[in-house]
């Protein structure tokens, strides 16, 4: 990287994460003016965005080429009091906590104490949600049966498509006006709502143009200051770019990147949507600009690289907004889950790998930044050299990019009813979630603790941790005559809690529809404009709500141990088993040894154990898939944990698989940590017995020592491993390439490993920022022996 | 039905032939090389072994049977499990040991079954067997990983327990039959890695070269000594005569590689 990039990258790496009260203050003052009682909610939200964008501080960092910061400086992170209101105590925790801290200065605390908290107390969306939830939802939520994504952040979970590369905001405003003229005032009962929504979209589109123009003004101002003439020239060029985009469609590579970046800032300033926002298929979007400009001689490969590197730094400047009521465990990450997609297929199904794909891989390798995350889409039509190149980055132990099966993703999306072309324009975002980019709102609603439901089943509806009856009385476990009795009871209990979760989801969707429209995001995702409907109200072409199953390995091994020892081999009675679990295996150490070492386990390509994974999959699928949601969407399942398997483990006592109380559960569809003894192919075989095509994503983590990537021959073997898994419809695989010795040393000497990034569960994070238990878990994960 | 004594079947082996493979380890070996990595494979009988494990501050012992009598079908069902990965990697199955040729009837049945399933087969062998056996087996083995240790017969007997006569003859036979062979030379300090032995190996291999067989078609793998099996020796109470030897790095074998390459052979370090 050149000096400019090195400087900007250092600035980004060294910037202190801090809380920035500017947005909260602007929003609060705007609401205080009382305008909200005079206009509709969508219009109020659009005017709020406009108020922020025309008043916020314009930050232009020295020597940068892509401009725009969400806060007043890199890593100055705004808050969203209309969604979740930080208490003074929250601010103290954020400021002082050891991991993933956000510095909060006295002035910010004062603003919160005097302005923000008094105004928003009782009015934030989080409080609105919590007030609306049924008592059984609250009980299940408190017991750790499930989590709720929208409690602290707005639903986002979407990815930008191709539209912004050939349409400017002025074009979209025209579309909005056209849509408004199409409103059927006579027959459409929603006519006035549509009209308000479209009005709001137009205001939002105009706001982002004003925001860009303010940057242009500032750039011109800076160019008047004394300094070197080359930079002056640059500043003027950048000003021109900011007057072109996003008002008009981009014409050049540089404009395309700057255009996306303004739009990105618009989305993450409007609200705090999940996964921030994401350019998605970046190599596809940029290729036409790159090709044309190379031919015209207006761009070089070096210049394109520098611009991409600048773009990467921009993402890294924007940590995920801090939550409230935080525990380090539940939200200890700065990652905001942007996931750049590379490769895959074109809309006609042909190989989409191009020169930009490889150029971006170079950028990823050289920049080594936490954000944006990156992944490669691997289709059978993609060449092997694309995988080889990527594996060489994986080998460096950086944890990126991860590997996704395009052919499976397309089939998953088509099964859900998307057109083939929309499916091929899709990919994965967040951790592993499949989606149709530019056309789908695919909202994650919460993690679901599949294993906790077993614990409650074994205790006849009571949570042994609290003694509260929160589930159904499915009968005392001691009276189950056979394994089928147990599974029937589990099935009823699972359905019971899924019903509670889905009822809650529907209520929360209604709240967002009514109170928190996002007119700016709605401009970007088709067909919100044509439908005259907000993104949060089901305006997108496709609307999906996911529940994420967690702990598949743990529930599978627990059920298998029950089947094997209680019902098949009868090594122990059910009451003996329950006693051992309630005593956390104290005085039952020999039994625990049997459970750990002499019991079939998921992840070894052993049908006896894997059968339980399939049963749980089917029950979960049947309970969720296809159920309609409030905004006109459909409920679906996927399997990913982020870090929730640690939280979910902490609310469960000992399990029949030999896991002791409060230890983490397994993550994604990976086997229980250390349970896989037959090597990676057996893990992949076990995992592929699940029907990935009926999910919206699964996460599989495999740890390898760097030696598996040593030479060309090893790289080819790893390629074959990926290809083999994908041939069996595996959705995703990621590699943690690191030695356990290194990790232990990093635990002892964090100061020496400040740049150590590991893949946690679908995303990468700094090892130092992980909690000790998560660090231990990563160390323990079976290293595949040679 | 014919059964074989197998002490391990390992999947995703990446050092026993091309691609991703499953390796079947036969128990029983006529040789007893000082540096053997699999000392538990020497005896021709199943053995019970206790593995000591700590859990919750208590000591537990895990009983393991080293060696299990398995039918051809039982082995085949394991071998079929990773077919998709063999396909993707141009891999297959490898028979190793111990010495698979010691259970030649069982091996032959397995090899035939593999070929009937269109699996690539590799035989990792010391070559210590009768000519008749190797003649029967070779049509079903696609690749031989063939150990060549010591040329001096007295030394060979001293360090491996058997004469190298059949080994050298069988190697000449396989080469003359134009079989795919990779000659593996375990590089053991002061034992195989002596000036005298290396010279003798080069001389022996040079005799295999003729108009039909170029030197470069002779493929050699130099395997650096490492003490990875140290724990196994103590676990199985077997006397380890190479305890004192230090591990060799790949880099330290470069001069040796150059020496073989100077003769025109195709050489690589490591398996």
Average pLDDT (B206-233) is 86
User: Greatest CA separation found in chain B?
Assistant: 68
- Given CA atoms B54, B55, B57, B59 in this order, what sign does their dihedral have? negative
* Residue B20 with chain A: CB contacts under 8 Å: 681, 717, 720-721, 724
ipTM: 0.94
Run of H or E residues at A1: none
* Residue B56 with chain A: CB contacts under 8 Å: 585, 589, 592
B110 Cα to chain A: minimum distance (Å): 22
Strand spans (E) along chain B: 3-13, 21-26, 47-55, 58-66, 68-71, 92-96, 120-125, 143-147, 181-187, 219-224, 266-269
| Contacts of B30 by beta carbon, 8 Å cutoff, 6+ apart | B99, B102, B126, B128, B161, B162
Is A728–B82 a contact, with Cβ atoms under 8 angstroms apart? no
pLDDT in tens, A654-711: 999 999 999 999 999 999 987 888 889 999 999 999 999 999 999 998 877 677 787 8
* Rg of chain A (C-alpha set): 26
Average pLDDT (A706-718) is 85
Q: Which two tokens stand for residue A500?
A: 């509670």
- Under the banding of pLDDT at 50, 70 and 90, the label for residue B229 is low
Average pLDDT (A762-772) is 65
Tell me which chain B residue has its CA closest to the CA of residue A660: B56
Residue among A500, A508, A511, A505 nearest A136 (CA): A500
What is the per-residue pLDDT for A766?
67
Greater confidence (A730 vs B63) lies with A730
What's the whole-number average pLDDT of chain A?
Answer: 94
What is the distance between the alpha carbons of residues A359 and A311, in angstroms, rounded to a whole number?
13
For the domain that residue B201 is a member of, what is the CATH number? 3.20.20.70
Domain span holding position B9: 3-269
What is the distance between the alpha carbons of residues A123 and A85, in angstroms, rounded to a whole number?
9
Q: Catalytic site residue A366?
A: no
Tell me which chain A residue has its CA closest to the CA of residue B84: A724
Residue among A423, A445, A258, A296 nearest A349 (CA): A423
Which positions in chain A have a beta carbon within 8 angstroms of at least one beta carbon in chain B? 585, 589-590, 592-593, 596-598, 605, 678-682, 685, 708, 714, 716-717, 719-721, 723-724, 727-728, 784, 786
Would the pLDDT of A546 be above 90? yes
pLDDT in tens, A296-332: 999 999 999 999 999 999 999 999 998 887 554 455 6
DSSP per residue, A249-279: ---SHHHHHHHHHHHHHHHHHH--BTT----
| Contacts of A400 by beta carbon, 8 Å cutoff, 6+ apart | A364, A373, A374, A375, A393, A394, A757, A759, A764
Is B55–A708 a contact, with Cβ atoms under 8 angstroms apart? no
Is A682–B11 a contact, with Cβ atoms under 8 angstroms apart? yes
Question: One of A175, A433, A440, A667 is an active-site residue; which one?
Answer: A433
Is A596–B55 a contact, with Cβ atoms under 8 angstroms apart? yes
Would the pLDDT of A100 be above 80? yes
Question: One of A431, A528, A594, A777 is an active-site residue; which one?
Answer: A431
What is the per-residue pLDDT for A327?
55
What is the per-residue pLDDT for B245?
84
pLDDT in tens, A557-612: 999 999 999 999 999 999 999 999 999 999 999 999 999 989 999 999 999 999 99
pLDDT in tens, A205-241: 999 999 999 999 999 999 999 888 999 999 999 999 9
pLDDT in tens, A322-369: 888 755 445 567 888 999 999 999 999 999 999 999 999 999 999 999
Is A681–B20 a contact, with Cβ atoms under 8 angstroms apart? yes
pLDDT > 90 in chain A, percent: 86
Would the pLDDT of B188 be above 50? yes
Which of B10, B19, B55 shows the shortest C-beta gap to A592? B55
Helix (H, G, I), strand (E, B) or coil at A370: coil
| Domains of chain B: total | 1
Which of A585, A593, A720 shows the shortest C-beta gap to B85? A720
What is the distance between the alpha carbons of residues A392 and A398, in angstroms, rounded to a whole number?
10
Angle at A645 between CA A516 and CA A542, to 5 degrees: 40
Is B84–A784 a contact, with Cβ atoms under 8 angstroms apart? no
Which of B8, B10, B11, B81 to probe the A interface (max A CBs under 10 A)?
B11
Distances (CA, A) of A171 to A164, A175, A266, A529: 10, 6, 17, 12
Average pLDDT (A256-263) is 98
What is the per-residue pLDDT for B201?
98
Tell me which chain A residue has its CA closest to the CA of residue B89: A720
Greater confidence (B270 vs A247) lies with A247
Would the pLDDT of A759 be above 60? no
- pTM, to two decimals: 0.94
Is A724–B55 a contact, with Cβ atoms under 8 angstroms apart? no
Q: Catalytic site residue A365?
A: no
Average pLDDT (B92-101) is 96
What is the per-residue pLDDT for A331?
57
* Residue B84 with chain A: CB contacts under 8 Å: 724, 727-728
- Given CA atoms A296, A302, A306, A312 in this order, what sign does their dihedral have? positive
């Amino acid at each position: 990287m050149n000096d400019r990039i090195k400087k900007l990258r250092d600035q980004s790496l060294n910037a202190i994460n801090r809380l920035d009260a500017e947005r909260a203050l602007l929003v609060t003052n705007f609401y205080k003016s009382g305008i909200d009682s005079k206009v509709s909610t969508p219009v109020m939200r659009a005017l709020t965005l406009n108020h922020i964008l025309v008043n916020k501080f314009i930050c232009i960092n020295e020597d940068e080429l892509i401009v725009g910061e969400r806060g007043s400086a890199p890593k100055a992170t705004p808050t969203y009091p209309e969604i979740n209101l930080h208490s003074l105590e929250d601010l103290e925790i954020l400021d002082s906590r050891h991991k993933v801290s956000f510095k909060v200065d006295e002035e910010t605390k004062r603003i919160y104490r005097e302005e923000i908290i008094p105004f928003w107390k009782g009015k934030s969306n989080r409080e609105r949600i919590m007030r609306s939830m049924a008592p059984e939802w609250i009980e299940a939520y408190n017991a750790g049966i499930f989590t709720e994504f929208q409690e602290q952040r707005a639903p986002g979970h979407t990815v930008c498509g191709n539209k912004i590369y050939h349409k400017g905001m002025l074009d979209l405003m025209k579309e909005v006006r056209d849509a408004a003229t199409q409103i059927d005032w006579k027959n459409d009962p929603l006519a006035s709502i549509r009209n308000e929504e479209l009005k709001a979209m137009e205001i939002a589109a105009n706001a982002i143009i004003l925001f860009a123009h303010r940057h242009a003004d500032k750039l011109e101002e800076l160019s008047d200051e004394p300094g070197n003439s080359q930079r002056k020239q640059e500043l003027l060029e950048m000003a021109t770019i900011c007057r072109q985009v996003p008002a008009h469609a981009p014409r050049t590579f540089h404009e395309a990147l700057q255009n996306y970046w303004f739009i990105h800032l618009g989305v993450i300033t409007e609200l705090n949507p999940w996964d921030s926002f994401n350019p998605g298929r970046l190599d596809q979007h940029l290729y036409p600009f790159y090709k044309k400009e190379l031919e015209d001689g207006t761009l070089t490969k070096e210049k394109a690289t520098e611009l991409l590197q600048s773009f990467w730094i921009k993402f890294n400047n924007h940590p995920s907004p801090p939550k409230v009521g935080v525990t380090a465990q539940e939200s200890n990450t700065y990652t905001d889950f942007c996931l750049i997609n590379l490769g895959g297929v074109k809309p006609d199904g042909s190989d989409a790998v191009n020169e930009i794909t490889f150029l971006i891989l170079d950028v990823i390798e050289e920049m080594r930044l936490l954000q944006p995350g990156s992944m490669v889409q691997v289709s059978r039509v993609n060449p092997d050299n694309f995988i080889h190149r990527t594996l060489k980055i994986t080998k460096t132990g950086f944890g990126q990019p991860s590997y996704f099966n395009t052919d499976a993703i397309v089939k998953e999306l088509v099964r859900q009813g998307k057109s083939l072309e929309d499916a091929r324009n899709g990919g994965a975002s967040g951790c592993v979630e499949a989606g149709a980019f530019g056309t789908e709102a695919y909202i994650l609603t919460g993690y679901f603790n599949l294993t906790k439901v077993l614990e409650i089943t074994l205790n006849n509806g009571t949570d042994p941790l609290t003694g509260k009856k929160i589930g159904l009385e499915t009968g005392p476990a001691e009276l189950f005559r056979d394994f089928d009795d147990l599974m029937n009871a589990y099935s009823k209990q699972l359905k019971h809690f899924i019903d509670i979760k889905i009822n809650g989801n529907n209520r929360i969707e209604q709240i967002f529809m009514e109170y928190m429209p996002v007119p700016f995001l709605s401009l970007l995702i088709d067909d919100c404009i044509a439908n005259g409907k907000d993104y949060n109200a089901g305006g997108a072409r496709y609307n999906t709500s996911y529940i994420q199953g967690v702990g598949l390995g743990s529930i599978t091994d627990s059920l298998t141990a029950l089947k094997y020892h209680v019902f098949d081999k009868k090594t122990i009675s059910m009451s003996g088993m329950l006693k051992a679990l309630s005593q956390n295996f104290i005085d039952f150490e020999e039994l625990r040894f049997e459970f750990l070492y002499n019991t079939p386990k998921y992840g070894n390509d052993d049908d006896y154990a894997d059968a339980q994974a399939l049963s749980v999959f089917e029950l979960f699928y049947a309970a969720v898939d296809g159920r309609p949601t409030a905004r006109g969407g459909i409920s679906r399942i996927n399997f990913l944990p982020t870090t929730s398997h640690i939280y979910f483990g902490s609310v469960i006592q000992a399990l029949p698989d030999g896991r002791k109380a409060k230890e983490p559960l397994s993550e994604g569809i990976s086997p229980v940590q250390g349970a896989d003894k037959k090597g990676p192919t057996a893990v992949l075989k076990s995992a592929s017995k699940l029907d990935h095509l009926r999910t919206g994503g699964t996460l599989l983590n495999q740890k390898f020592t760097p030696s598996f990537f040593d030479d060309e021959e090893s790289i080819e073997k790893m390629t074959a491993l990926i290809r083999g898994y994908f041939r069996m419809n595996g959705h995703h695989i990621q590699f943690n390439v690191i030695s356990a010795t290194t990790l232990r040393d990093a635990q002892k000497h964090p100061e020496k490993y400040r740049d150590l990034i590991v893949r946690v569960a679908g995303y990468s994070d700094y090892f130092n920022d992980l909690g000790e238990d998560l660090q231990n878990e990563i160390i323990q994960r079976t290293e595949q022996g040679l | 039905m014919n059964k074989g004594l197998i002490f391990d079947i390992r999947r995703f082996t990446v050092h026993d032939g091309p691609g991703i493979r499953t390796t079947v380890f036969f128990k029983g070996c006529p040789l007893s090389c000082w540096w053997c990595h699999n000392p538990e494979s020497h005896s021709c009988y199943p053995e019970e072994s206790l593995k000591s494990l700590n859990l919750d501050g208590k000591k537990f012992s895990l009983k393991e049977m080293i060696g299990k009598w398995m039918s051809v079908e039982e082995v085949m069902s394991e071998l079929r499990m990773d077919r998709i990965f063999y396909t993707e990697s141009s891999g297959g199955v490898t028979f190793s040991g111990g010495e698979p040729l010691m259970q030649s009837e069982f091996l032959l049945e397995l090899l035939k079954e593999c070929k009937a399933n269109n699996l690539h087969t590799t035989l990792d062998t010391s070559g210590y067997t009768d000519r008749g056996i190797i003649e029967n087996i070779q049509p079903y083995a696609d690749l031989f990983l063939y150990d060549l240790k010591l040329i001096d017969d007295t030394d060979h007997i001293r360090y491996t327990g058997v004469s190298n006569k059949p080994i050298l003859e069988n190697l000449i036979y396989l080469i003359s039959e134009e079989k795919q062979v990779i000659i593996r030379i375990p590089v053991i300090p002061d034992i195989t890695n002596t000036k005298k032995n290396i010279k003798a190996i080069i001389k022996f291999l040079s005799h295999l070269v003729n108009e039909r067989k170029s030197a470069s078609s002779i493929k050699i793998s130099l395997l650096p000594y490492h003490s990875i099996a140290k724990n196994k020796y103590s676990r199985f109470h077997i006397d380890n005569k190479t305890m004192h030897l230090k591990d060799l790095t790949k880099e330290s074998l470069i001069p040796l590689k150059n020496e073989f390459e100077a003769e025109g052979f195709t050489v690589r370090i490591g398996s």
